[in-house]
């Protein structure tokens, strides 16, 4: 007992800074946004006062209008669903592309493994926006890639296409930016797999696909899940990529939130949209975690 107590408090102490961090930078701002979502926008931006003192009597100036506006037309929820779809697609493509890469790294020789990992991290050395601008040049109608694709299409009598300002450009860039976030957790997971399990399965007569689905897949799920969260959340809320590469209908929910805070200077409605996005994200992650756990324990059994 006397030994368990200090151990517990040490653990608590260690978890205090991250807890305080989360409270200060996530919980508190979310609460502030929740409050802001019931207020009126200020005449020149910011928020209008939420109470007035008139002739000694206090009157409150709060409203449900901002929340009702969300359901006034289907555009906001429609856009949220579209953004969810794009984020899911990005996550799926990332997972498909990251798996073979992570597996190759995990099975590489020790010295080479470090080099391959370095190559995965290398893009982070240049700024995110610089890399997006590089893609703008690649996608440009005068760029070598577009010209090559269109020459190829011409051989089959297909009309030339434009890659810049399209959903293809947006999704390509979303995948490009987020791919390392899928590779790294997957690698960390696959590296720990015991190759002897696969050998044993093979000795016992399991086929290739049986070995993958019965042994590798259930073990890889936690890594895949971690990667999916790291890819899905940022791609859901992103606004820079659709802003720079998207066409006239390329916007996502993040762009509308940015528009509320910057262009319309409508903080209350921006808060409503942000909270809905945060809520949706937490809900989806919760659901995924729940089913992931159920599948995981099933696999073990």
Provide the binding-site residues for another protein, judged by CB under 8 A. Answer: 40-46, 48, 73, 75-76, 78-79, 136, 140-142, 162, 164-165, 243-244, 246-251, 255-256, 259-266, 269
Return the number of the residue (265 or 295) whose C-beta is nearest another protein: 265
Give backbone dihedrals phi and psi of 252, rounded to 5 degrees, phi first. -120, 180
CB of 68 to another protein, least distance (A): 13
Least distance CB 160 / another protein (angstroms): 10
Selection from 262, 284, 265, 269 nearest residue 33 by Cα: 269
CA 109 distance to own-chain centroid: 32
Report the alpha-carbon distance of residue 235 to residue 87 in Å, rounded: 5
Residues comprising the chain, all counted: 301
Q: Could you give the C-alpha distances from 291 to 5, 95, 200, 287, 297, in angstroms and in order?
A: 35, 18, 29, 6, 10
Nearer to another protein, 44 or 156 (CB): 44
CB count within 10 Å of CB 74 equals 9
Shortest distance, CB of residue 162 to another protein, whole angstroms? 6
186 or 256, CB closer to another protein?
Answer: 256
Q: Which two tokens stand for residue 198?
A: 């696969």
- Closest separation in Å from C-beta 31 to another protein: 19
Which of 163, 175 has the CB closer to another protein?
163
Q: Which is nearer to another protein, 159 or 204 (CB)?
A: 159
User: Nearest approach, Cβ of 260 to another protein (angstroms)?
Assistant: 7
Among residues 212 and 280, whose Cβ is nearest to another protein?
280
To another protein, the closest distance from the beta carbon of 276 in angstroms equals: 14
**CB of residue 270 vs another protein: minimum separation in angstroms?**
10
Which of 9/264 has CB closer to another protein?
264
**Which contacts (CB < 8 Å, 24+ apart) does range 251-255 have?**
251/79, 252/79, 252/82, 252/83, 252/86, 253/76, 253/79, 253/80, 253/83, 253/277, 254/83
Q: What is the CA radius of gyration of the chain?
A: 25
């Amino acid at each position: 007992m006397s030994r368990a107590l200090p151990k517990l408090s040490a653990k608590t102490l260690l978890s205090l800074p991250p807890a305080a961090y989360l409270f200060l930078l996530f919980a508190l701002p979310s609460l502030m946004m929740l409050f802001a979502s019931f207020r009126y926008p200020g005449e020149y931006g910011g928020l209008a006062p939420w109470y007035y003192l008139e002739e000694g009597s206090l009157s409150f100036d709060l409203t449900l209008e901002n929340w009702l506006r969300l359901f006034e037309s289907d555009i906001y929820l429609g856009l949220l669903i579209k953004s969810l779809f794009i984020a899911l697609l990005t996550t799926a493509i990332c997972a498909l592309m990251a798996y073979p890469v992570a597996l190759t790294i995990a099975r590489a020789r020790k010295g080479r493994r470090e080099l391959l990992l370095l190559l995965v991290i290398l893009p982070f050395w240049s700024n995110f926006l610089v890399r997006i601008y590089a893609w703008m040049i690649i996608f440009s109608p005068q760029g070598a890639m577009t010209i090559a694709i269109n020459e190829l299409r011409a051989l089959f009598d297909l009309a030339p296409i434009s890659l810049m300002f399209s959903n293809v450009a947006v999704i390509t860039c979303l995948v490009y930016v987020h791919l390392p976030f899928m590779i790294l957790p997957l690698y960390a997971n696959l590296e720990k797999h015991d190759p002897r399990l696969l050998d044993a399965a093979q000795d016992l007569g399991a086929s290739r696909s049986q070995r993958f689905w019965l042994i590798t897949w259930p073990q890889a799920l936690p890594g895949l899940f971690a990667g999916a969260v790291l890819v899905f959340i940022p791609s859901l809320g992103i606004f820079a990529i659709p802003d720079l590469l998207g066409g006239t209908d390329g916007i996502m929910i993040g762009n509308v939130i940015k528009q509320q805070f910057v262009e319309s200077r409508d903080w209350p409605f921006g808060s409503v949209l942000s909270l809905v996005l945060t809520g949706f994200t937490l809900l989806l992650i919760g659901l995924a975690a729940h089913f992931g756990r159920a599948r995981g324990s099933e696999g073990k059994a």
